[in-house]
């Protein structure tokens, strides 16, 4: 119904344009880039010449011989037979307008060259860019008319005069000019309608764009604990195949009237689908399931959901010289952040990054960290260690570490040298036996 009314409107607009042209009997209308023949029949025994009125430029002439400018053709044989017709090899906006032919300085023919109105229809999503080809820059109006407007003409939203763009106040911040293109950004459903590119000088419509803007539903963020189940609710009666698509191209579940199918750990019940419930359940959420999910019913996009996994929080009690083991959990690039404060704060200092499997740490830590992120702790290493996914900008794991204050001096006192990097257990063992001796 909607598409019928759009076509109907274009036809109406085109009829109006062609009616005005049809009254003009000496006008020749062709498609852009096609050749056009400007007719003129006359037995001229002297000099015949074609002039473009706008520029007053001579484009072709014939007497004992013929000459024509680039882009124009005239035939001497035809001239001798009384046919002075001029061929324009490829019609374009520069070559439009009135031409006249003279024989011995007397005007014998006057013909107007016009170009067919171009018609394009565009289907865009909200926030996309609308790009309109203005074709010329000397004097054009951009006219907008909504699909259901009563006013057949619509309103002038922008105009270009000698390359200078001017727009109505409500459009100025959204419009850009790039050469012969006018770009309207951040389009919304209310921008749907017709855009007419009108040549003011010749009062011709160069191009009619019909724009249909599709609403994209807002993405809902969903977070879940690691290994827990989660359901993306989605109520929609879908008589076509309903599909849940992960990261734009992976189908994880789908239902049609006869049955449902889903990948391991994803559930989409058939009875719920038939009831108009397209909800998707993930039985055990892990890091490989993070990201964007969208349900498609035919071409309609429904229920976009962005899944994140809540950071795992682990409290670790260590003694001086013991190892802090940090699980990196995911294949993505990660960074390890440290802050002595136990309050999670995004201003923590980066101490290591693991990018494409290659570990790089701050000088202070390089000696003490092994590839598995086994950090041998000093007494001043208490605080929060945060493992952050750098690609998805998500916190994966937070280790709240407290290192017990065991002073290394007793070891030195009994001749055992302690150096950071040594395993402390022997020291602690000795210390214990020493206390027992006392
Ligand atoms: C016409 O020709 C020009 C240049 O040759 C080209 O850029 C343009 O796309 C053509 N337009 C059409 C509608 O064929
Ligand atoms: C020009 O002259 C030829 C021969 O004399 C004749 O056949 C033809 O009809 C004439 N054309 C015009 C346009 O008068
Ligand atoms: C045009 O001028 C030429 C001589 O310059 C003459 O021979 C010829 O008859 C003229 N033709 C017309 C149609 O007046
Ligand atoms: C033919 O016309 C051209 C352009 O007006 C002129 O330059 C040329 O001398 C003419 N040739 C003859 C033989 O009259
Ligand atoms: C061009 O647009 C501006 C802003 O809408 C308007 O003020 C001006 O009158 C227009 N010029 C023409 C020639 O239509
Ligand atoms: C896009 O348009 C919407 C609604 O008109 C507005 O809220 C939003 O701020 C705009 N965004 C930009 C980047 O202009
Ligand atoms: C969802 O999360 C993204 C980043 O993780 C954020 O930019 C966006 O504002 C959130 N959307 C809502 C509706 O909270
Ligand atoms: C429904 O989907 C199943 C697989 O999910 C497929 O084998 C079957 O052909 C589909 N039926 C119809 C009617 O599309
Ligand atoms: C929709 O289906 C899901 C299972 O996929 C179920 O958990 C949920 O309760 C259903 N919602 C309604 C409103 O029936
Ligand atoms: C690391 O974390 C992942 C996911 O949280 C878990 O499956 C795995 O068992 C952990 N490995 C160790 C050594 O704790
Ligand atoms: C640690 O966090 C506190 C607030 O919790 C912040 O003021 C401080 O700058 C952070 N330290 C570092 C080294 O980033
Ligand atoms: C922490 O202690 C180690 C040795 O115990 C020392 O080398 C390092 O400078 C200390 N770091 C800070 C920030 O105090």
Quick: pLDDT tens for 82-99: 999 999 999 999 999 999
Nearest ligand by distance to the CA of 364:
12
Nearest ligand by distance to the CA of 328:
10
pLDDT, position 407? 55
C-beta of 261 in contact with ligand 8 (< 6 A): yes
CATH superfamily of the 118-214 domain:
Immunoglobulins (2.60.40.10)
pLDDT, position 371? 57
| pLDDT tops 50 at residue 392 | yes
Quick: pLDDT tens for 337-354: 898 877 666 678 888 888
Q: Strand 260-262's sheet: what is its strand order?
A: 220-224, 300-309, 291-297, 242-246, 250-255, 260-262
Residue whose C-alpha is closest to residue 352's, from 342, 340, 363 = 363
Fold agreement (220-309, 314-404):
yes
CATH superfamily of the 220-309 domain:
Immunoglobulins (2.60.40.10)
Share of the chain above pLDDT 70, in %: 85
Which residue's alpha carbon is nearest to atom 3 within ligand 9?
279
Quick: pLDDT tens for 134-186: 999 889 999 999 988 888 789 999 999 998 999 999 999 999 999 999 999 98
| pLDDT tops 90 at residue 14 | no
Q: Which residues contact 321 (CB under 8 A, 6 or more apart)?
A: 376, 377, 418, 420, 422, 423, 424, 425, 427, 428
C-beta of 64 in contact with ligand 4 (< 6 A): yes
C-beta of 139 in contact with ligand 5 (< 6 A): no
CA 15/CA 28 separation, integer angstroms: 17
Which residue's alpha carbon is nearest to atom 10 within ligand 1?
33
Q: Kindly list the protein residues whose Cβ atom lies closer than 6 A to any atom of ligand 10.
A: 226, 327, 329
pLDDT, position 410? 44
Q: How confident is the model at residue 26 (pLDDT cuts 50, 70, 90)?
A: confident
CATH superfamily of the 21-115 domain:
Immunoglobulins (2.60.40.10)
| 33 Cα–ligand 1 center, Å | 6
Q: Which residues contact 216 (CB under 8 A, 6 or more apart)?
A: 125, 126, 127, 301, 304
C-beta of 343 in contact with ligand 11 (< 6 A): yes
Which residue's alpha carbon is nearest to atom 5 within ligand 1?
33
| pLDDT tops 90 at residue 209 | yes
Question: Which pTM value belongs to this model?
Answer: 0.56
CATH superfamily of the 314-404 domain:
Immunoglobulins (2.60.40.10)
| pLDDT tops 90 at residue 235 | yes
Mean pLDDT value across the chain:
85
| pLDDT tops 60 at residue 217 | yes
Of the two residues 375 and 435, the one the predictor is more confident about is 375
Of the two residues 356 and 411, the one the predictor is more confident about is 356
C-beta of 32 in contact with ligand 1 (< 6 A): yes
Quick: pLDDT tens for 237-262: 999 999 999 998 899 999 999 999 99
Domain boundaries, the chain: 21-115, 118-214, 220-309, 314-404
pLDDT, position 397? 92
């Amino acid at each position: 119904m909607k598409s019928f009314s759009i076509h109907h409107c274009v036809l109406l607009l085109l009829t109006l344009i062609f009616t005005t042209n049809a009254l003009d009997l000496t006008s020749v209308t062709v498609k852009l880039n096609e050749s056009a023949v400007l007719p003129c029949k006359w037995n001229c025994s002297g000099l015949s010449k074609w002039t473009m009125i706008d520029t007053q430029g001579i484009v072709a002439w014939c007497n004992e011989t013929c000459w024509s400018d680039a882009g124009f053709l005239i035939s001497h044989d035809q001239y001798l037979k009384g046919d002075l017709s001029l061929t324009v090899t490829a019609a374009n906006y520069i070559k439009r307008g009135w031409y006249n032919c003279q024989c011995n300085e007397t005007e014998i023919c006057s013909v107007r060259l016009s170009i067919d109105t171009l018609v394009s229809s565009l289907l865009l999503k909200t926030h996309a860019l609308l790009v309109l080809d203005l074709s010329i820059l000397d004097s054009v109006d951009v006219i907008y008319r909504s699909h259901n407007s009563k006013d057949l003409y619509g309103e002038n939203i922008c105009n270009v005069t000698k390359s200078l763009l001017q727009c109505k106040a409500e459009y100025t911040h959204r419009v850009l000019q790039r050469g012969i293109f006018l770009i309207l950004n951040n389009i919304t459903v209310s921008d749907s309608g017709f855009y007419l590119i009108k040549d003011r000088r010749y009062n011709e419509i160069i191009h009619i764009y019909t724009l249909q803007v599709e609403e994209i539903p807002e993405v809902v963020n969903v977070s879940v604990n690691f290994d827990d189940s989660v359901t993306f609710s989605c109520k929609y009666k879908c008589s076509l195949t309903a599909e849940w698509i992960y990261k734009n191209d992976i189908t994880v579940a789908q239902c049609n009237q006869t049955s449902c199918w889903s990948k391991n750990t994803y559930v989409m019940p058939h009875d719920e689908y038939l009831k108009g419930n397209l909800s998707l359940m993930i039985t055990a959420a892990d890091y490989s399931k993070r990201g964007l999910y969208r349900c498609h019913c035919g071409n309609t996009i429904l229920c976009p959901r962005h899944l994140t996994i809540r950071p795992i929080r682990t409290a670790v009690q260590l003694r001086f010289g013991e190892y802090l083991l940090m699980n990196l959990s995911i294949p993505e690039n990660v960074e390890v952040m440290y802050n002595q404060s136990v309050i999670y704060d995004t201003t923590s200092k980066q101490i290591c990054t693991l990018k494409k499997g290659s570990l790089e740490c701050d000088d202070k830590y390089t000696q003490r960290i092994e590839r598995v992120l086994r950090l041998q702790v000093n007494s001043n290493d208490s605080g929060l260690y945060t493992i952050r996914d750098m690609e998805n900008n998500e916190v994966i794991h937070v280790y709240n570490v407290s290192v017990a204050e065991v002073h290394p001096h007793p070891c030195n006192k009994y001749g055992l040298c302690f150096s950071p990097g040594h395993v402390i257990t022997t020291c602690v063992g000795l210390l214990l036996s020493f206390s027992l001796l006392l």
